[in-house]
Amino acid sequence: MKTMESKQEIINLLNVFNIECKVISHEAAFTINEMLALNLPKAEFVAKNLFVRLNKTTCKSSRIH
């Protein structure tokens, strides 16, 4: 599974640079409120992923010819 490989690659990279980390696995949460409801340790340090994608249709229509 690619996700698990990527996760381990990140942990390995942190170890190479002697960066201490602790992995906490939890069910999927889609909002900060859902994360807070999980009562995870150090919840005040939760970071939410943000993915941005390029809408190709918009990109094509905004080109200057």
Give residue 24's identity as a one-letter amino acid code.
I
User: Rounded CA gap, 25 and 58, in Å?
Assistant: 37
The string of pLDDT tens digits covering residues 12-34 is 999 999 999 888 888 988 888 89
Q: Is the pTM of this model over 0.95?
A: no
pLDDT tier, 43 (very low <50, low <70, confident <90, very high otherwise): confident
Higher pLDDT, 52 or 43: 43
- On the 0-12 / 13-18 / 19+ scale of CB atoms within 10 A, 39 is exposed
The predicted pLDDT at position 53 comes to 74
Q: How many domains does the chain have?
A: 1
Structure tokens at 37: 């409801």
Domain region containing 42:
2-61
For residue 22, the model assigns a pLDDT of 86
